[in-house]
Amino acid sequence: MRRSVTAIWAVLVLLATGWCATAGAVPPQAPFSAYQYGTDGCLEVGVRDGQPKPYAAPAGYDPTAGYPAFGYDPAALGFTATGGTNACRYRFYDKNPRTDPGAVVIATGYCVQYAAGQLSGTGYDPQDAAPVRDAGYVRRILAAYWPNSDLPTVPGAANPTVANRQRSGAVAMAIHWFTDGIAMPPDYQVPALYDSVKQVVDGALAAGPLPAPADPTPALDGPAGGDAQQLVGPYTVGANALGPVTVRIDGAGVDAYTDAAGTVPFTSGDTLPPGGRLWLRGPAGQVVLHAEGPVQAAIGTYMAGDPAARVQSMMLATAVPLNGKSERTLTLVPGDPPRLTSQVSAAVLTSGAPVSDAFDVTGLRGPATLTATLYGPLPVPGTGDCARADWDGPAVPVDAVYDPVPLTGDGRAVLPERATGTTGCFSFGARLQPGGAAPVDLPPGDPAETFRVDPRDVPPVLTLTTRASASTLPVGREVTDTLTVTGITPGRTVHLEPTLYGPLAPARDGSCAGLDWTAPDLPVTARLAPHDLTADGSVTTEAVRLERDGCYSFGTVMTHDVLTGGQEPVEHGLGDPAETFLAEAAPSPSPSPSPSSSPSASASPSGSATPGPVPPLPDTGADGVGPVLIGTAALLVLGATALAVTRRR
């Protein structure tokens, strides 16, 4: 049986608060409330070759048990090495800076999904729920630490620019401990910054979690439905809004009014002031109310990105008015028995994330009791759609049975959040038992009630390795660079921009070792064609002919959307031995000997004999000084022999 299996009405259930309920946020959609573009302070954590990599805690880790001390043993804790990151605070703009040069920064925020990717220019909308592990501790960090205080303490506090980078990165890594179980490398190159991250985690644990902020979307309060062709309402629109709220009404033949008598019509698409009211009348069927208007988004508000971009979710570190979107689905029915509908909080979750369910009830004529059950896990079908799992089987497992909820009338009942654990397919089901009437069942398997729990995968280490084609070569020869990338996850792109720097003067010993490749205004020989890789592999740059002698080095700037912070450019290889080479000047040709009028020395003006200049012998391979000396010695021996023979005679 699905939602439509038994006639009952649609919508909400509240215990003592009656029949009203607020709207829910809609998935992010254009026009977006804000656009993430660029960063406002980052800390490198294992992004470069040779740097220590961060570690991921095992699936069953408990972040509230505390942050590991510097120098911890990853193997002893069951931790796994993962890809490095630029741990950043991100900027939000009112418009997309990629297309609108007039865009201005309106807020900043932090990532709450370590391996979900990041792409500048992506649109974001605020949401009224945060499917984030330990979101209360994240909100505590956002409220108490940078940029809302000068905490944590960092070694570069004396320099505002350095302090901003270090504090932003420390806060970002502390958040990833709670949301994703990511820990700083145990041998991080700056131990004081490791302590800064631990300071944030320990402080949040000591202070405790903060509750969710106020709903950042326009509220839509009112009944979940009513009788067809009767005035149903009132619906209070945007009582929490900061300005006029645009209201759209989707429903065939449905009319709307701004008075209880139904005499003042309201046109779909018009605006209402904050707290304006509507009444509806129409045939049996579903009606959807859409509201869009400015609402204050508090610190800790959950921001979801454009689903088409596949990017990380974030939480605001700044309070800012945003154009929130919300909607309510109502059901107008003939005066039939009660109707029960519901909606799970998310269709796909990562193990450890919280899940909840909201049940809407209409048509009650008296008290009732609602009992909800969570079924599963079942194996995930090949399509990945858990609505296609075998929910009609004879022995569907039960994961949890919730306490009965007493109802006094139409309304919404929201189940408490429950942390997911085991992977697989799950579905909520429920039984509504009106007093003195037949029960209404909502069995498991309704597409709006099923959800999938995926394992928390540890992303691979993203690595760029580069090597020049030669270490020494003469001027006039050509050189290339080979770039190899590993750790690219499916659907992601790595962008490489190689450059050949130099020449620099060699060191005193004639080598290129120990040169300073970090100096400003480094000479550039060639900026080479960029490359995009969507899978592990290697590319080779175009060849560059060397015109001048000296020391050279390739450097490659890498950006990517594989991990959070990947849009922050990082240069690899510059000055590394594998990327540095020496271009040697070609040897000068030797001059030819000058002719001499006499083999004997001429007299100097003072009467002393001064030998004339002796040109160097031409370099002809084996014809050097050695053969000349041998010939001279031979002549001397022959002369001595002749003299001895003469004397004997």
Q: What is the pLDDT of residues 401-457, one digit of tens each?
A: 999 999 988 889 999 999 999 999 999 999 999 876 789 999 999 999 999 999 998
CB 554 within 8 A of CB 574: yes
16-25, 321-330, 549-558: range with lowest mean pLDDT: 16-25
**Judgement on whether residues 548 and 421 belong to the same structural domain of the protein:** no
**Judgement on whether residues 410 and 489 belong to the same structural domain of the protein:** no
**CB burial of residue 546 (10 Å; 0-12, 13-18, 19+):** buried
Task: Give me the pLDDT at residue 590, please.
Answer: 59
Closest C-alpha to 443, from 367, 380, 372: 372
pLDDT (mean) for 65-91 = 97
Task: Give me the pLDDT at residue 303, please.
Answer: 98
Whether residue 199 is predicted with pLDDT greater than 60 in this model: the reply is yes
Torsion-angle region of residue 59: left (phi > 0), alpha (psi -120 to 50) or beta?
A: alpha
Q: Is residue 104 part of a domain?
A: yes
Q: Is residue 476 part of a domain?
A: yes
119-123, 154-158, 166-170, 564-568: range with lowest mean pLDDT: 564-568
3-state secondary structure of 604: coil
Q: Is residue 440 part of a domain?
A: yes
CB 407 within 8 A of CB 363: no
Between the alpha carbon of residue 613 and those of residues 78, 593, 601, 602, 616, the distances in Å are 80, 10, 10, 12, 10
CB 575 within 8 A of CB 515: yes
Pairing of strands 450-454, 348-350: parallel
**Judgement on whether residues 409 and 538 belong to the same structural domain of the protein:** no
pLDDT per position as a tens digit, 30-39:
999 999 999 9
- The distance of Cα 424 from the centroid of its chain, to the nearest Å, equals 25
Whether residue 9 is predicted with pLDDT greater than 50 in this model: the reply is no
Cα–Cα distance, 428 to 421 (Å, whole number):
16
Of 435, 457, 479, the one marking the end of a domain is 457
CB 123 within 8 A of CB 306: yes
Task: Give me the pLDDT at residue 23, please.
Answer: 60
Task: Give me the pLDDT at residue 594, please.
Answer: 53
Torsion-angle region of residue 600: left (phi > 0), alpha (psi -120 to 50) or beta?
A: beta
Within 10 Å of residue 371's Cβ, how many Cβ atoms? 15
pLDDT per position as a tens digit, 81-92:
999 999 999 999
Of 533, 555, 584, the one marking the end of a domain is 584
pLDDT (mean) for 299-324 = 97
> Is the torsion defined by CA of 635, 638, 644, 649 positive or negative?
negative
Q: Is residue 282 part of a domain?
A: no
Closest C-alpha to 569, from 467, 499, 644: 499
**Judgement on whether residues 363 and 512 belong to the same structural domain of the protein:** no
Task: Give me the pLDDT at residue 437, please.
Answer: 76
Mean pLDDT, the chain, integer: 88
Tally of helices (H runs) and strands (E runs) in the chain = 5, 44
Task: Give me the pLDDT at residue 598, please.
Answer: 42
pLDDT (mean) for 378-390 = 96
Alpha helices in 491-596 (DSSP H): none
- For residue 77, the number of C-alpha atoms closer than 13 Å in the C-beta half-sphere is 24
CB 277 within 8 A of CB 261: no
Whether residue 615 is predicted with pLDDT greater than 60 in this model: the reply is no
Task: Give me the pLDDT at residue 230, please.
Answer: 85
The residue length of the chain stands at: 649
Cα–Cα distance, 109 to 175 (Å, whole number):
11
Cα–Cα distance, 314 to 158 (Å, whole number):
29
What percentage of the chain reaches a pLDDT higher than 70? 86
Higher-pLDDT residue of 643, 149: 149
- The distance of Cα 255 from the centroid of its chain, to the nearest Å, equals 45
**Judgement on whether residues 531 and 397 belong to the same structural domain of the protein:** no
Q: How many domains does the chain have?
A: 3
Of 420, 441, 457, the one marking the end of a domain is 457
Confidence at 70, pLDDT banded by 50, 70, 90: very high
Which DSSP letter does residue 597 get?
A: S
Concatenated DSSP letters of 184-239 = --TT-S-HHHHHHHHHHHHHHHHH-PPPPPPP-S--EEB-SEEETTS-EEEEEE-T
Q: Is residue 299 part of a domain?
A: no
Closest C-alpha to 458, from 202, 174, 189, 183: 183
The residue type found at 69 is: A
Q: Is residue 253 part of a domain?
A: no
Task: Give me the pLDDT at residue 163, please.
Answer: 98
pLDDT (mean) for 269-274 = 98
**Judgement on whether residues 407 and 551 belong to the same structural domain of the protein:** no
Whether residue 631 is predicted with pLDDT greater than 60 in this model: the reply is no
**Judgement on whether residues 386 and 407 belong to the same structural domain of the protein:** yes
Q: Is residue 241 part of a domain?
A: no
Could you tell me the residue range of the domain that residue 550 belongs to? 463-584
Secondary structure in 3-state letters for 112-166: CCCCCCCCCCEEEEEECCCCCCCHHHHHHHHHHCCCCCCCCCCCCCCCHHHHHHH
Task: Give me the pLDDT at residue 378, please.
Answer: 98
Cα–Cα distance, 300 to 213 (Å, whole number):
7
pTM: 0.77
**Judgement on whether residues 41 and 185 belong to the same structural domain of the protein:** yes
Whether residue 642 is predicted with pLDDT greater than 60 in this model: the reply is no
pLDDT per position as a tens digit, 47-62:
999 999 999 999 989 9
Task: Give me the pLDDT at residue 593, please.
Answer: 55
The contacts of residue 397 (CB under 8 Å, 6+ apart) are: 375, 376, 377, 378
Our CA angle for 238, 243, 98, nearest 5°, is 105
pLDDT per position as a tens digit, 103-116:
999 999 999 999 89
The CATH number assigned to the domain holding 540 equals 2.60.40.3930
pLDDT (mean) for 213-217 = 96
**Judgement on whether residues 445 and 467 belong to the same structural domain of the protein:** no
Cα–Cα distance, 173 to 190 (Å, whole number):
14
- The distance of Cα 464 from the centroid of its chain, to the nearest Å, equals 18
Which DSSP letter does residue 337 get?
A: S
pLDDT (mean) for 519-535 = 96
Q: Which two tokens stand for residue 72?
A: 């911890």
Cα–Cα distance, 574 to 143 (Å, whole number):
40
Higher-pLDDT residue of 3, 532: 532
pLDDT (mean) for 177-190 = 98
Q: Which two tokens stand for residue 429?
A: 């089901």
Concatenated DSSP letters of 404-438 = PEEESSSEEEEPPPEE--S-EEEEEEEEEEETTS-
- The distance of Cα 314 from the centroid of its chain, to the nearest Å, equals 9
pLDDT per position as a tens digit, 328-358:
999 998 767 788 999 999 999 999 999 999 9
**Judgement on whether residues 421 and 517 belong to the same structural domain of the protein:** no
First to last CA, the chain: 140
3-state secondary structure of 178: helix
pLDDT per position as a tens digit, 464-517:
999 999 999 999 999 999 999 999 999 999 999 999 999 999 999 999 999 999
Q: Is residue 83 part of a domain?
A: yes
Within 10 Å of residue 63's Cβ, how many Cβ atoms? 21
**Judgement on whether residues 419 and 538 belong to the same structural domain of the protein:** no
Task: Give me the pLDDT at residue 471, please.
Answer: 96
Task: Give me the pLDDT at residue 637, please.
Answer: 40
**Judgement on whether residues 533 and 432 belong to the same structural domain of the protein:** no
